Amino acid sequence: MKKWKSYKPGVADNKFDAIVIGSGIGGLCAAALLSLKGKRVLVLEKHFKIGGWTHTFHRDNYEWDVGIHYIGQVHNSRSPIRRLFDLISGGKLQWSPMDKNYDRIIFPDKSYNFVAPREQFIEDMISYFPKEESGIMTYMDLLDQAARSARSYFSNKALPGILSTITYPFMTRKFFSYSDHTTLDVLSSLTDDQQLIGVLTGQWGDHGLPPAQSSFAMHAMVARHYLDGGNYPTGSSRSIAETISDLIESNGGLLMVNAGVEEIKIHNGTAVSVIMENGDEIEADTIISNAGVVNTIDKLLKNGNGHSRLKDRLEKVEQTKSYVCLHIGLDKSADELGISNTNLWIYPGYDHDKNVQDYTNNPEADFPVVYVSFPSAKDQAWDENHAGYATMEAITLSTWDWYTKWQDLSWKNRGQEYEDAKTKLSDRILDIVFEQVPGIRHAMAYKELSTPLTVRDLANYQKGEMYGISHTPDRFRQRWLRPKSDIKNLFYTGQDITTVGVSSALFSGLLTASAVLKENLTSLIKD
């Protein structure tokens, strides 16, 4: 496991070409690409680990990922995602393929398997719903069309101002024909079968919004991403940050943890430096924020410099829901327990929007979703470091308001009422997990629940949100969600300027680096 360097005041004496605030995958990708182009880069991470949602944490013999549960398309060495990962990791990042049955969608009356490749997925859906073959085939075509239209939409974000403005109507029109509609509206135009709609939207947790609220374009990009199967980073998700950081360092870059940034300093309308929490000022020609646009505008940019105008923009977007995650440690291996690496999506009924609304209104209602992942079964290198042990995670939706009474209390010091609430919630989640995976009950040796407060404290999301800005139709109409900010030399990166998920955040780094250099870096990953 790589040891990370803590921030030291002497760093401020150096001059850097670019400073990246936050070490999530978007920031790491941008930093790596800039370093490959000869730029000296400094990555500053507030947490004590590099990687954002790609890092892991340990308890005794157990290790859990905190955000990466599976990634599509990287099994194909010629896919753009795989090529980009290979480029910024120096080819060191390896992948473990999941079973062909990558997702299982579970309802009270029946389970449905999502099985790769695409042809098998189609065959299985038709076998489940034989009267809906025409609608299913049309649906598959729409996934392809929406995903293809996204390429020019996102490419426009990296273009220089005047060129972007001129080409914007032509590069976005097709995408908007999909993104402007909700997932439920599109699927309801294809079928009246509400069970089929519930099944096809069974991965809504991958982007955080149920069908009546989510943009169909977002649904399409997620669903299509996994059609040929899922994969997991070999050596756990922390290997992503470790391999990419090695490349950045080999090119003269520097990555620092425990390096909280207090302010992005603006002088005469230009970003010139960052002010650290200890008061140090570090200058750079380019400042890239991977802290999320809400954090950047609300916290890092102070009053003045057009700040009120930027704040007004935040009124046009919403943050995603918060969540809780139960981390489970097992004292037997996945093989011993007969655990597969198929993800489980467990629902109380087919109407996802009703499920979410019922639970939001009443926390004692059925969980709207419980997602179960098995990192130790997915990682081919797991036994090298954790032989005889296994881990799993169970995630469900939450609401920040339920935790505000404890928000001013520090981590691990929130009192017995908070601990009792966590225990009650953990037991409810376990009841559902044991029903689907009964063989693990006798092997459970450890459990730990993270709440929205945990996410706020350790991931720096203000209300413990899951995915930054919500993926509604309106979100994709926000033209300001792009790498180049209104402030000279200040750039954004991360999922807020693209979409949710590690692969999308990865490409945000490519877009941001392209915008900084005024160079189309997609040429680096083409045949």
Between 28-37, 65-74, 222-231, 370-379, the lowest mean confidence (pLDDT) is in 65-74
At 230, the pLDDT band (50, 70, 90 cuts) reads very high
Which strand (E) or helix (H) includes residue 233? Answer: strand 230-233
Q: What is the pLDDT of residue 304?
A: 58
Rounded Cα gap, residues 193 and 133, in angstroms: 12
Q: Answer yes or no: is pLDDT of 305 > 60.
A: no
Measured distance CA(60)–CA(465) in Å, rounded = 28
Show the tokens assigned to 2: 């790589």
DSSP state of 434: H
Q: Can you give the pLDDT at residue 517?
A: 96
**Mean pLDDT, to the nearest integer, of 130-157?**
96
pLDDT of 366 > 70? The answer is yes
CB neighbourhood size of 123 (10 A): 11
Distance CA 36, CA 17 (A): 13
In this predicted structure, the answer to whether residue 303 has a pLDDT above a threshold of 70 is: no
Lookup: tokens for 248 = 């950045």
DSSP codes, 250-279: HTT-EEEBS--EEEEEEETTEEEEEEETTS
Q: Residue 19, SS3?
A: strand
Nearest to 33 by CA among 526, 499, 527, 516: 516
Neighbours of 332 (CB within 10 A): 18
Average pLDDT over residues 223-252: 96
The tokens describing 242, both together, are 């470790």
Question: Rounded CA gap, 238 and 282, in Å?
Answer: 28
Q: What confidence tier does 149 reach under pLDDT thresholds 50, 70, 90?
A: very high
The yes-or-no verdict on residue 379 having pLDDT over 70 is: yes
Q: Give percent of the chain with pLDDT exceeding 70.
A: 99
Q: What's CA 125's distance to the chain center, in Å?
A: 27
Contact 504, 299 (CB under 8 A): no
From the list 321, 450, 453, 473, the residue with the least C-alpha distance to 393 is 450
3-class state of residue 369 by DSSP: coil
Q: What is the DSSP letter of 475?
A: G
Residue 320 has pLDDT above 90, yes or no: no
What per-residue confidence (pLDDT) applies to 310? 81
Asked whether residue 61 carries a pLDDT value surpassing 90, the answer given is no
**Cβ atoms of 510 and 84 closer than 8 Å:** yes
324 has a pLDDT exceeding 90: yes
C-alpha span between 117 and 183 (Å, rounded): 23
- pLDDT band per the 50, 70, 90 thresholds, residue 370: very high
Residue that wins the pLDDT comparison between 464 and 334: 334
User: Model confidence at 503, in pLDDT bands (50, 70, 90)?
Assistant: very high
Average pLDDT, the chain: 94
The per-residue pLDDT for range 398-408, each reduced to its tens digit, is 999 999 999 99
Asked if 69 and 54 touch (Cβ cutoff 8 Å), the reply is no
Mean pLDDT over residues 147-167, rounded? 93
Distance of CA 341 to the CA centre of its chain: 20
For residues 210 and 201, what is the distance between their CA atoms, to the nearest angstrom?
8
Does an H or E element contain 173, and which?
A: helix 161-179
- pLDDT surpasses 60 at 272: yes
Give, to the nearest 10 degrees, the angle between helix 118-128 and helix 133-157: 140
What is the C-alpha to C-alpha distance for residues 353 and 183, in angstroms, rounded to an integer? Answer: 11
Looking at the DSSP assignment, which residues form a beta bridge with residue 450? 325
Q: Which CATH number fits domain 9-55+234-317+470-525: 3.50.50.60, 3.40.462.10, 3.40.630.30, 3.60.110.10?
A: 3.50.50.60
What is the model's pLDDT at position 314?
87
Neighbours of 408 (CB within 10 A): 7
Phi, psi of 105 (to 5 degrees): -100, 115
Report yes or no: 187 and 197 within 8 Å, Cβ to Cβ.
yes
Contact 471, 499 (CB under 8 A): yes
pLDDT value of position 389: 95
Amino acid at 410: S
Model-level pTM?
A: 0.95
pLDDT higher than threshold 90 for residue 78: yes
Q: Of 237, 289, 239, which Cα lies nearest the Cα of 23?
A: 289
Structure tokens at 463: 């209300």
Contact 38, 307 (CB under 8 A): no
Taking phi first (over 0 means left), then psi (-120 to 50 degrees means alpha), and beta for anything else, what does residue 502 get? alpha
**Residues of each domain in the chain carrying CATH 3.50.50.60:** 9-55+234-317+470-525
Phi, psi of 458 (to 5 degrees): -100, -25
How many other CB atoms are found less than 10 A from the CB of residue 338?
A: 11
Instruction: Count CA atoms within 13 Å of residue 80 on its CB side.
Output: 12
